[in-house]
Structure 1
């Protein structure tokens, strides 16, 4: 809205100085057009790359490099003879509850079959993982723990390095375990285990 007391002064300026100066004064004195609203910037995903997380059960596992997408991870314990339990079918991934949860300090352990009753298992391609590739573990607290693989080994079951796989680590790590090597038809079992080692490199909230 124009200010009623200012416009007579503008008219006087027009008579004395001409139209050019008057136009400039009108532009200065006229109210500014409303500016378009600036949309708010999207909120970035929080990423943390150091430290450890509180305990929270794993809910999902994604390993893009080998095509793993597993939901509803199953709790695993130990068998009566002290061996790690195995999932009940080919596609289920299990979490060993006797180890830390993924993101806590120490080595979290996830296991799945390489195959089961002639069906390819969730970890059928675990041996193909390479250092630098990622495993993403969704947790029940809504966070995603991102681990980067740094080593993949195969061990004879008779010489499995329990301390190296399950032993404490200062930082959060992940172990992915399945069977491998030759298949012994007499026992119905593979002779080796494949273990992928990974370190926590990011946490997405």
Structure 2
């Protein structure tokens, strides 16, 4: 059975020129499971946090992502767009691998950084299988090549329909150092795969290990 793979609808290049980011993450295939991956609480979709943002960091390549609440501790590989302009996903055979989109900012910089990964593959759950169970106030840690760790507080998490993806809300810059973590979500159909994407919204609130 083919693996679950987030793809991307071909974006408008004029829109990309405005937000300097990518188009919509979608899924082409998925793996059916009786219980399925957890989905976000509808109440978590509303954005907001009372924690003040940390100062933005200079650019530095992210090397690892950790989400203690769901047991994620995964290396990051670079992902970009393929020849047809679709967003690449990490290789599906490695269940514990996430991708950093290199055309966006690095996590911790001012702007919106993007990390994606599979929810499952042909053998079972993958790196972001538990993403939908996260709640506001929990944290994502991103280790960077300069030795610092950018810590992002979750200020929203939602499931969005792949046919009505809110591009600007997800990828547009708020002027703050933010992070989006994206995987497959919604209903699963053997023919069409997952109906949407789980999108996590994070704000940089702490920096560890910076010299």
Q: TM-score, normalised by structure 2?
A: 0.71
1:139 alignment partner in structure 2? 144
2:202 alignment partner in structure 1? 198
Secondary structure of the 1:159 match is coil
**Is the aligned partner of 1:85 residue 2:88?**
yes
Give distance in 2, aligned partners of 1:116 and 1:142.
32
Q: CA deviation at 1:103?
A: 0.5
**Is the aligned partner of 1:69 residue 2:69?**
no
Alignment of 1:1-205 (within 5 A): 50-71=54-75, 73-89=76-92, 90-187=95-192, 189-205=193-209
Q: CA deviation at 1:120?
A: 0.6
Q: TM-score, normalised by structure 1?
A: 0.73
Rg (Cα) greater in structure: 1
Q: Deviations over 1:70-97 (max 9, x none)?
A: 12x1101123443321110222100001
Secondary structure of the 2:163 match is helix
Q: CA deviation at 1:156?
A: 0.8
Give distance in 1, aligned partners of 2:180 and 2:119.
15
Secondary structure of the 2:63 match is strand
Higher relative contact order (CA 8 A, sep 6+): 2
Q: Which runs of 5+ in 2 are unaligned?
A: 1-52
Q: Sort the Cα spacing of 1:166 and 1:95 in 2 relative to 1 into closer, same or farther, 3 A.
A: same
Q: CA deviation at 1:169?
A: 2.1
Q: Deviations over 1:41-87 (max 9, x none)?
A: xxxxxxxx63211111101111011110112x110112344332111
Instruction: Count residues in correspondence.
Output: 155
Give distance in 2, aligned partners of 1:83 and 1:119.
25
Give distance in 1, aligned partners of 2:166 and 2:83.
20
Q: Which runs of 5+ in 1 are unaligned?
A: 1-48
